[in-house]
Each structure stands twice: as C-alpha cells, then as structure tokens.
Amino acid sequence: MYAAALAFTLFAVFPFYWMLITAFKQNRDLYVGATNLQHIPWIFNEPPTLYHVRLLFLNTPYLLWLRNTAFVGALVVLITLLVAVPAGYSLARLAGRWGERLGIGIFLTYLVPPTLLFLPFARLVSWLGLQNSLWALVLVYPTFTVPFCTWLMMGFFRSVPRELEEQGLVDGYSRLAVIGKVVLPLAVPGMLTVVIFAFTLVLQEFIYALTFISQVDRMTISLGVPVALVRGDVFYWGSLMAACFLTSVPIAVVYSAFMDRFIAGLTAGAVKG
C-alpha cells in the first residue's frame, strides 16, 4: 500500500522536484550529464547556487510579469464578483423553475473552450484596438470565470437556510436589505472561493495571452515564463525552472486547498436546495 502510494506521489511530484533542483544547480552541474554518464543528474553534485534565481529577478522581466498578472487578476476578480454574486443569488432564490435550466445553461458556456473562441476574440480585440493591451485580457478572462463562479455562488446561496431570509422579510426588511445583512455575510466563504478561483484561473491562462500579447513587458506570468525566457534557441533552464517553481507551487498549493469546494461545487451545484 505504501509502495503504491509512493509511486503515485513520485509520478505526480517529479516535475516539481525537477524544477526545484534545476533552479538551484550550478550550470556546470546542469549541463554535464549528457556527455558523462557518471555524472548523476538526480542530485546536487556541486553545491547549490542562487545564481539563477538572482538572474531571474534582476535580469528578466519576471517582476514586471508578476505585476501585470496581479493587475489583470485583480480586475477580473472584481468583475467576476460583481457579476457572478448577484446572478448566483438570483438563480438560487428568485428565478424559480427556469432558474434551474438557466443555471445549467450558464454552466455549459464554461465548457465552450478558449481554443474555440480565441480566433473570434483575436478579431474582436483588433477591432477594439486592444492588441498588446492587458485590457484585452481583462475583457476576455471573465468569459471563463463568470460562468463557473455563477454556478459556484448559486450552490452557496442554496445552502443558506431559506428561513433566515424569510424571517428577515417578515421583520419588514426589504429583499435587498435581507441580502445585504443576512445572505451576503453568510456567503463570505463562497465569495472567497470565487476570488481564489478567478485569480488562479487568470494565473493559469495561456492561449488568450499568447494570442493577444506579443510585447514582452506586457506579458502575464504564465505567458512570459515559457515564451520570453527562452532567448532564441537558448533555454536558460536554471532561471526558467526557478520561475516555474516560484510561480506554480504557491498557486498549486492555494488552488488545491480549495479543491474540495471546487469538486463539491462541480457535483453538488445541481443538487436542488
């Protein structure tokens, strides 16, 4: 049992180990194994170095990409919250029977993949004059965050006991006041989930960024690292892997911390409340 668990874990974790060890290896240590079979690539043969990490932070636009990503991420999260939270509530409480179908309809749009939409968006973006602009990403990214987050919020609102709201209404509060004072505070964990998901989805997006952004200093992190850290045919594997590790592991940890809600939302969102 332990052996099987270990095997699965090793398979899953190996690329991350490889990022980590590459990021801190000296160049001499990295590029010898091909010619010299005695040189073991799996471990540090020379003492680890911070050289690649320093190179990444000081001599590449990595920090700029982080800033771009934060900018796009923050705006997309804001748009998603403003749009998905009211919609989720409306579908959960006010829409009645057609809400169910509409909810499924909105969720299905989440299955329409970027790889189908990037060409029309390329045209839309050039029509709006937004090529090479982060605003293009701000405009387009909610297309995948909104459907999913609306679905999630719908599930969360359904889990708020109806009686609480009815009591508020009986007490003479308006529906909006009930939403503001009773429902929203209870839905804070749901909204937090939405924030995390919208943000991590933005961090992970690749094809739209590749299509719209060609200027290196306007790239986001998951575009810049694979595309712009490769200069010509030369791969600076040390810095490249440092960037991959420093970016992907924190995201992955945060994302998987919310994974259970994601799965619950995915499967239980349809369960009638």
**Interaction mask 157-196, another protein, x per CB under 8 A:** -------x--xx-xxx-xxx----xx--xx----------
Q: How far is the CB of 59 from another protein (least distance, A)?
A: 18
φ/ψ of residue 234, rounded to 5? -90, 125
Give the binding range for another protein (CB under 8 A) out of 51-59, 60-68, 111-119, 188-196: 111-119
78 binds another protein (CB under 8 A): no
Q: How far is the CB of 232 from another protein (least distance, A)?
A: 15
Nearer to another protein, 58 or 127 (CB): 127
Q: How far is the CB of 217 from another protein (least distance, A)?
A: 18
End-to-end CA distance of the chain: 39
Which of 73, 142, 190, 265 binds another protein (CB under 8 A)? It is: 142
3-state secondary structure of 233: coil
Which of 70, 81, 102, 216 binds another protein (CB under 8 A)? It is: 102
The DSSP annotation for 47-114 comes to ---SHHHHHHHHHSTHHHHHHHHHHHHHHHHHHHHHHHHHHHHIIIIISTHHHHHHHHHHHHHTTS-H
239 binds another protein (CB under 8 A): no
Q: How far is the CB of 120 from another protein (least distance, A)?
A: 4
Q: How far is the CB of 123 from another protein (least distance, A)?
A: 6
Nearer to another protein, 50 or 270 (CB): 270
Contact 151, 92 (CB under 8 A): no
* Token pair listed for 247: 């970016």
Nearer to another protein, 74 or 83 (CB): 83
232 binds another protein (CB under 8 A): no
Q: What helix, strand, coil percent values describe the chain, rounded to 5?
A: 75, 0, 25
3-state secondary structure of 118: helix
Give the binding range for another protein (CB under 8 A) out of 43-51, 54-62, 187-195, 221-229: 221-229
Which of 27, 45, 49, 90 binds another protein (CB under 8 A)? It is: 90
β-partners of residue 231 are 234
182-185 long-range contacts, Cβ below 8 Å, gap at least 24?
183/89, 183/157, 184/85
Residue type, 225: V
Look at the alpha carbons of 52, 54, 57, 59 in this order and tell me if their dihedral is positive or negative.
Answer: negative
**Interaction mask 48-77, another protein, x per CB under 8 A:** ------------------------------
